[in-house]
Amino acid sequence: MDLDFDRVLHIAPERAIGRWLKQRAGLYLSVDIRNAAAARMDVTRLALSDESITLIWCSHVLEHVQDDSSAIQEFARVLVPGGKAIVQVPIWRQATFEDPAVTSSTERLRSFYQADHVRLYGMDIVERFARSGFSVQVHRAQEFGPARLLMNGLSFASTNEVFVFSNAR
């Protein structure tokens, strides 16, 4: 997997992955809407210039974002042509299940298996990104080997896919 670490945006930064990215990045920016990060930003309205990022790392975030299509469009906007977004989300089925009427924590826990999730992604996440001009490579988490799997938390019961979305512009 060929990655350009020149200008990295790390969304909802995980400590171990953040250290690894910082060691490789020319410019590293971590952002989160409410937790510790270098900047507070909403992924649906990134306060960044067009085509200013070469690599986005976004792990276990989009299943929490009400308007994931706006977030995906923002990824396309801030990535340079050919830039990459590394994305992980829990995959539960072929087709994504979401219901905006499910709003309470109790209902979300029952419907989405976690109180702060707003959808259960399916493999059709690929089409969601394609609509914003991305091409995709899908890797199995196991391809990265046991040491990297454990160190970076790349595999959970519902998360075996690592999506590498390339900005096709």
* pLDDT score recorded for residue 40: 97
| Residue 129 near residue 72 (C-beta atoms within 8 A) | yes
* pTM for the structure as a whole: 0.89
Q: Could you report the per-residue pLDDT of 17-48, keeping only the tens digit for each?
A: 999 999 999 999 999 999 999 999 999 999 99
Return the HEC string of the chain.
CCCCCCEEEEECCCHHHHHHHHHHCCEEEEEECCCCCCEECECCECCCCCCCEEEEEEECCHHHCCCHHHHHHHHHHHEEEEEEEEEECCEEECCCEECCCCCCHHHHHHHHCCCCCCEEEECCHHHHHHCCCEEEEEEEHHHHHHHHHHHHCCCECCECEEEEEEECC
Judging by beta carbons within 10 Å of its beta carbon (0-12, 13-18, 19+), is residue 34 exposed, middle or buried? exposed
Q: Could you report the per-residue pLDDT of 71-111, keeping only the tens digit for each?
A: 999 999 999 999 999 999 999 989 999 999 999 999 999 99
Question: 40-65: buried (b, 16+ CB within 10 Å) or exposed (e) per residue?
Answer: ebbbbebebeebbbbbbbbbbbbbbb
Domain boundaries, the chain: 7-90+120-167
CA–CA gap between residue 13 and residue 157 (Å, rounded): 21
What homologous superfamily does CATH list for 7-90+120-167?
Answer: Vaccinia Virus protein VP39 (3.40.50.150)
Q: Phi/psi of residue 55, each to 5°? A: -145, 130
